[in-house]
């Protein structure tokens, strides 16, 4: 599909800033998509973070910006779960903030930046000094910014009791004249207005529906064999990390109730950075129910390659084409990247009706197997029907793909980012 590229006057040098741009976390993935869209529009993009895998010639590495930096973690352990902080702790926050401001100024000067794109660092308070530093730099320079908010502080229970409410009100997010605030769902938009009095625009997560998905090629043709599946097995893919909010226990229950030994649940990602208790629970349930579940995180990475044993490493996009069904039973999501990826690869989806899905996605008409916190008889019946009816799968796939093109393609991000740039620089689209 040929994209109609939008231009907003002169090219502007755009600087993306976050704690990290590395790997396959949601913020990194969406930032890369925005950069691809902005570069199509003629705006060169540059990167600053505590971890980076962008090319060195367009990157500014600032290790202190990473939220898992030992200095940052030591500071943050003292900020939550209490309501009062010491003067010494206040001084430590400000000292770190000043160091990060120096890094931001170096980044701006190094690449002669004209607009900044803070990615989630003015939303989720996992790095208070970085949010404060960004806010003060924007206030001091007057540089325009498009602040992309993926996870807001009030959406996470662990931030409720804290000793930094003054900083949260100042910088998470800030109220400054040349910031375009962008959220990823309508619930966040309403809460940002209600709690902070700030207007915002919804730009949903997107996928490049304008480019057909990659399929099975010579490299990835052996995925099923490599993960131990038989030719007639039914491949059910859970394409998420193993964390509690992903609701993987529902996927286990669905597989159990299907009662078909050919059905194999394949989980593509590791536990991540939220501990291993949920993984332990999952393994206990798998053992008790005698389920055949494959954990393949050690075989999936951002790029193809070989591991230390010489085995092939696949990308997630190598795995999707082989799946017969995708499970996405999350209790909570800011949006839902895995849902979009599933319909991009034309796969049927079992989806829990988490709040953002129910409000922003379901009304658009996607054909899915929807569950409401329970694996009901109807969910099991529909799953069996979809797995055994190729014509139905094809019908759903085409309907869902066309809806993806309409509502969640790069074209959507292109139009909305063009409007944000036009607003900041007083130019027409």
For the stretch 400-410, pLDDT in tens is 999 999 999 99
Predicted confidence (pLDDT) at residue 59 exceeds the cutoff of 90? yes
Phi, psi at 222, each rounded to 5°: -100, 15
Predicted confidence (pLDDT) at residue 213 exceeds the cutoff of 90? yes
**CA distance linking residue 425 with residue 428, whole number of Å:** 9
- CATH, domain range 14-206+410-425: 3.40.50.2000
Predicted confidence (pLDDT) at residue 4 exceeds the cutoff of 80? no
pTM: 0.90
What is the average per-residue pLDDT within 191-216? 96
Phi, psi at 234, each rounded to 5°: -100, 115
Residue percentage of the chain with pLDDT more than 70: 97
- Per-residue model confidence (pLDDT) at position 275: 61
| pLDDT, averaged across the chain | 94
Q: Quick one: pLDDT band at residue 2, thresholds 50, 70, 90?
A: very low
- Per-residue model confidence (pLDDT) at position 273: 58
The β-bridge relationship of strands 312-313 and 305-306 is antiparallel
Q: Quick one: pLDDT band at residue 87, thresholds 50, 70, 90?
A: very high
- Per-residue model confidence (pLDDT) at position 334: 87
Annotated domain spans of the chain: 14-206+410-425, 223-407
**CA distance linking residue 375 with residue 353, whole number of Å:** 12
Give per-residue pLDDT as tens, 343-388: 999 999 999 999 999 999 999 999 999 999 999 999 999 999 999 9
- Per-residue model confidence (pLDDT) at position 428: 63
Summary count for the chain: helices (H), strands (E): 15, 17
User: Domain 223-407: what homologous superfamily?
Assistant: Glycogen Phosphorylase B; (3.40.50.2000)
- Per-residue model confidence (pLDDT) at position 272: 63
- Do domains 14-206+410-425 and 223-407 share one topology? The answer is yes
Q: Quick one: pLDDT band at residue 10, thresholds 50, 70, 90?
A: confident
Q: Are 159 and 125 in contact (CB under 8 A)?
A: yes
Q: What is the three-class DSSP state of 62?
A: coil
Predicted confidence (pLDDT) at residue 3 exceeds the cutoff of 50? no
- Per-residue model confidence (pLDDT) at position 302: 87
What is the average per-residue pLDDT within 236-255? 94
């Amino acid at each position: 599909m040929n994209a109609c590229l939008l231009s907003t006057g002169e090219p502007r040098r755009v600087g993306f800033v976050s704690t990290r741009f590395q790997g396959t976390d949601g913020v990194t993935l969406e930032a890369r998509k925005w950069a691809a869209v902005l570069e199509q529009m003629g705006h060169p993009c540059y990167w600053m973070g505590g971890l980076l895998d962008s090319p060195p010639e367009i990157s500014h590495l600032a290790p202190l910006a990473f939220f898992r930096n030992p200095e940052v973690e030591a500071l943050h352990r003292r900020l939550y779960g209490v309501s009062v902080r010491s003067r010494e702790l206040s001084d430590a926050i400000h000292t770190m903030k000043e160091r990060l401001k120096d890094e931001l100024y170096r980044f701006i000067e190094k690449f002669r930046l004209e607009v900044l794109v803070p990615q989630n660092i003015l939303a989720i308070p996992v790095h208070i000094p970085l949010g404060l530093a960004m806010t003060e730099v924007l206030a001091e320079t007057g540089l325009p910014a498009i602040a992309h908010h993926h996870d807001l502080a009030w959406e996470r229970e662990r931030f409720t009791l804290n000793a930094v409410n003054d900083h949260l009100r100042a910088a998470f997010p800030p109220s400054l004249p040349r910031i375009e605030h962008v959220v990823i769902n309508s619930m966040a938009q309403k809460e940002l207005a209600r709690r902070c009095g700030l207007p915002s625009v919804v730009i949903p997560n997107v996928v490049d529906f304008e480019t057909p998905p990659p399929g099975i090629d010579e490299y990835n043709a052996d995925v099923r064999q490599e993960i131990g599946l038989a030719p007639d097995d039914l491949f059910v893919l859970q394409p998420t990390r193993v964390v509690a909010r992903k609701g993987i226990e529902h996927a286990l229950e669905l597989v159990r109730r299907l009662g078909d030994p050919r059905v194999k649940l394949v989980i593509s990602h590791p536990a991540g950075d939220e501990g291993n208790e949920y993984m332990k629970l999952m393994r206990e349930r798998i053992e008790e129910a005698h389920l055949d579940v494959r954990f393949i995180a050690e075989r999936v990475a951002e790029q193809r390659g070989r591991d230390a044993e010489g085995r092939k490493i696949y990308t997630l996009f190598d795995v999707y084409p082989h799946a017969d069904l995708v499970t996405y039973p999350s209790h909570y999501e800011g949006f839902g990247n895995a849902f979009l990826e599933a319909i991009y690869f034309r796969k049927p989806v079992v989806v829990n009706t988490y709040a953002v899905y129910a409000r922003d996605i379901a009304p658009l008409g996607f054909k899915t197997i929807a569950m409401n916190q329970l694996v009901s008889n109807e969910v099991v019946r529909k799953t069996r029907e979809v797995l055994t009816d190729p014509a139905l799968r094809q019908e759903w796939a085409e309907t869902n793909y066309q809806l993806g093109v309409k509502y969640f393609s790069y074209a959507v991000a292109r139009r909305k980012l063009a409007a944000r740039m036009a607003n900041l620089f007083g130019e027409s689209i």
